[in-house]
Amino acid sequence: MTTYGVPSNAPLFSAHARARRADPATSHRAAATAESSGNATRQRTACLEAVRATPGMTAGEIDKRCGFMDRFVAGRRLPELREMGLIHNGDARVCSVRGSRQMTWYPAGPTGGGG
């Protein structure tokens, strides 16, 4: 079975939302809940689809495109996708949503592009 062109046995679906070691217990519980509820997987899938559809967006632009209620969802999920080798960073530029310089994101692979 595939979701957005990604096989269900791909690392995308076996990744884990994370909290930093120094984060409070509530952050660790929230990360565990995001995984057990399936929200983190759905968020990673939406982010990956957005990066593949429109390479070169910033996390802020991806948040907006995906309609995430929390403006930091993409900022949490994009590094997880990068660690899985599914996406990579391009050059930083001014984000059209937040007005600050942010990294851009591109799909991995020979046609991924980016800087």
Tens digit of each residue's pLDDT (9 = 90 or more) over 60-111: 999 999 999 888 999 999 999 999 999 999 999 999 999 999 999 999 986 6
- Going from N- to C-terminal start, the domains of the chain cover 2-107
Q: What is the mean pLDDT of residues 3-16?
A: 50
Asked whether the beta carbons of 59 and 43 are under 8 A apart, the reply is no
**What is d(CA 109, CA 115) in angstroms, rounded to the nearest whole number?**
13
- State both tokens at 37: 């509820």
Q: Is the dihedral of CA 73, 13, 57, 85 positive or negative?
A: positive
What is the model's pLDDT at position 95? 97
What is the model's pLDDT at position 8? 47
Residue located via tokens 């910033």: 58
For residue 13, is pLDDT > 90? no
Q: What is the mean pLDDT of residues 27-42?
A: 75
| DSSP secondary structure letter of residue 38 | S
Contacts of 85 (CB under 8 A, 6+ apart): 11, 108
> Which has the closest alpha carbon to 33: 46, 51, 50, 18?
18
In this structure, are strands 101-102 and 93-94 parallel, antiparallel, or unpaired? antiparallel
> Which has the closest alpha carbon to 52: 110, 14, 108, 104?
108
Q: Give me the CATH topology for the region 2-107.
A: Arc Repressor Mutant, subunit A (1.10.10)
